[in-house]
Amino acid sequence: MPHNQSVQERVTALNTRYKHHGATSVLEHALRDAEVGKTALVSSFGAESVVLLHLVSIIDRQTPVIFIDTEMLFTETLVYQQELAERLNLKDVRIIRADRDQIFTHDNESLLHLHDPDACCHLRKTLPLQNALDGFDAWITGRKRYQGAARAAIDFFENEDDRRIKINPLAHWESKDLQEYIAENRLPRHPLVAKGYPSIGCAPCTTRVNDGEDPRAGRWRDTSKEECGIHYVNGKLVRAGGTGSGNGGVAA
């Protein structure tokens, strides 16, 4: 939809307007505020995804939900995605995958993740998502400040390279808030959580997490990689004020 203000001007105004609001209020307004525009939820259907999916199902279950099937996910994730979408009665779940020709050209043997995980994430996650978000003014993520590193200072609304708005309704939630919400609403948990996977990505690049470790320690273990790339533009992390520094590739 056309807007009279730039993305940055809208982000600044939205963060000011909803600064003291809670997650539900931010999400409700984001899905209806003309300054936000056409919005989709991008979900990994991972360890904590059920919270945001449940909130969206209550507010507007017609909201487009984009799920990136990298074709390297755990079987448990694929089954959970189908069961959860049906249970929450989500009306517009869009399962996207990488272009077949691109996979054949760049990762025909599905081994790219072994020698260039950034390139693998770009091929199987970032590019498909960029294509899927074409035509949307904004997208909703499940990132939280408590996850640390590049996420420690995120706001409710961010400017994604002056192209669209990124919305983080759960930015200020802590892990205990998520667990309490799941329990109070009797929501089904991802089956791998009970097996020691508090953060879940693609099967080849995700390991169990030991007691006392950071919840994301099992993602790209023993490498410098911390994010998958969907929150980066030209190698830089998207922040509320525009694009910040960063290199690497993020799971929503």
- The answer on pLDDT for 237 being more than 50 is no
Q: How far apart are CA 192 and CA 212, in angstroms?
A: 18
**Count of H helices and E strands in the chain?**
9, 9
Domain membership flag for residue 47: yes
- The answer on pLDDT for 250 being more than 60 is no
Q: What pLDDT sits at residue 150?
A: 66
Q: How far apart are CA 41 and CA 171, in angstroms?
A: 15
Q: Quote the mean pLDDT of the chain.
A: 86
Q: What angle do CA 231, 122, 139 make, to 5 degrees?
A: 35
CATH code, 92: 3.40.50.620
Q: Please give the tally of structural domains in the chain.
A: 1
What pLDDT digit, counting tens, does each position of 201-219 carry? 999 999 999 888 888 888 8
What pLDDT digit, counting tens, does each position of 124-138 carry? 999 999 999 999 999
Domain membership flag for residue 197: yes
Domain membership flag for residue 2: no
Is-contact 98 124, C-beta < 8 A?
yes
Residue 202 designated active-site: no
Domain membership flag for residue 226: yes
Which listed residue (120, 121, 202, 228) is catalytic? Answer: 228
Q: What pLDDT sits at residue 230?
A: 58
* Residue 241: CA count within 13 A, CB half-sphere: 3
Q: What pLDDT sits at residue 245?
A: 31
Domain membership flag for residue 248: no
Domain membership flag for residue 249: no
What pLDDT digit, counting tens, does each position of 151-172 carry? 677 889 999 989 999 999 999 9
> pLDDT grade, residue 141 (50/70/90)?
very high
Q: Three-state DSSP class for 26?
A: helix
> pLDDT grade, residue 236 (50/70/90)?
very low
Residues of the domain holding 26? 7-243
